[in-house]
Amino acid sequence: MDKATLLDWYRQMVLVRRFEQRSAELYQLGKIGGFLHLYIGQEAVAVGSIGARRKQDHVITAYRDHAHALVVGTDPGALMAELLGKETGISKGRGGSMHMADVAHNYWGGYGIVGGHVPLGTGIALAEQYNGTDAVVLCYMGDGSTNIGYFHESLNLAGVWDLPVIYIVENNQYGMGTAVDRASAVPDISTKALAYGMEPKKVDGMNVIEVYEATRDAIAAIHDGKGPQFLDVITYRYEGHSMGDPLRYRTKEEVAKWREDDPIGVLERYILEKKIAGKETLEDIDQEVEKVIEQAVDFAEKSPFPALDTLFDNIYVEA
């Protein structure tokens, strides 16, 4: 992996982390309404996997969706403005935290219904196959989604039709306050893929390089005619499910253990130990990200709310 790529992944992970921390603060100040699901702890999943995608590949996910947007290259200001419900937001302030989408970057959102986007991602793959392109879909979901009917129907059709889709399970061990083994009849989620003819891979989701390699290999496997792919990416969210989660379902020791594998720390150690760059370079990146975030917040705060007479705009696509 070359130096520029590793430093860019470091920058992206810090960008996601700082964006999330800043949005938590704005939420507590009452500037963000509704739900807010943070990606803190899971950064290596979006950064590593989107690091492997080509421009033509699609990205779709559930409601824990800010990181994917930042990593595909959406302007942080437009994302922050979206969180604040402003007219300049990427979804014109109508979508908020759970419904960020950026068609210019092939990012299809952002959905609040658990598992509801899995057929949509599968359908995008069908469209690409139908049109004879080489594009693939990165369809992200939580572990909880794998218990939903949509998941099973989608994987079945993807298997039947050999669709160019990679199902990426962000297996953060919990769906809200319920541990995987209390909600899923098979605690090893990857085995579910076997029922649909896919050979699942388990991936260390705290290691950005491993996530990148697994995704790169999955794209290559699709192009080799091996059909849809399934990655069970083992990760952890350090914060609550959403804001205001009292976290009574897991112990402090468990969280502390996972913090030792903080994905930013893992990459930082790798960069320093292999002498790819020094501490100062990483600190410079931290500072640079800090500025980007402050500019994003400033832009969002100064932007206007949508005008009242636009209330019914952007609901249906004009024919």
Ligand X SMILES: Cc1ncc(C[n+]2csc(CCOP(=O)(O)OP(=O)(O)O)c2C)c(N)n1
Residue matched to tokens 């975030």: 293
Token pair listed for 255:
């969280």
Q: Which does 112 bind (CB under 5 to 8 A by kind): Mg ion, ligand X, none?
A: ligand X
Q: Which does 108 bind (CB under 5 to 8 A by kind): Mg ion, ligand X, none?
A: none
Residue 106: half-sphere exposure toward Cβ, Cα within 13 Å: 18
Contact call for residues 73 and 12 (beta carbons, < 8 A):
no
Say whether residue 106 binds Mg ion (CB under 5 A): no
Q: Which is nearer to ligand X, 107 or 150 (CB)?
A: 150
Q: Give me the residues paired with residue 166 across strands.
A: 138, 229
Token pair listed for 166:
């990679």
Say whether residue 143 binds Mg ion (CB under 5 A): yes
Q: How far apart are CA 292 and CA 109, in angstroms?
A: 22
- Nearest-CB residue to ligand X? 142
CA 118 to chain CA mean position, Å: 14
Which 3 state secondary structure label does DSSP give 74?
A: coil
Say whether residue 172 binds Mg ion (CB under 5 A): yes
- Which range touches Mg ion (CB under 5 A), out of 96-104, 167-175, 217-225, 228-236? 167-175
Q: What is the largest CA-CA distance in the chain?
A: 57
Q: Which is nearer to ligand X, 156 or 242 (CB)?
A: 242
Say whether residue 184 binds Mg ion (CB under 5 A): no
- Which range touches Mg ion (CB under 5 A), out of 103-111, 137-145, 146-154, 305-313? 137-145
| Least CB distance to ligand X at residue 234 (A) | 13
Q: Which does 241 bind (CB under 5 to 8 A by kind): ligand X, Mg ion, none?
A: ligand X
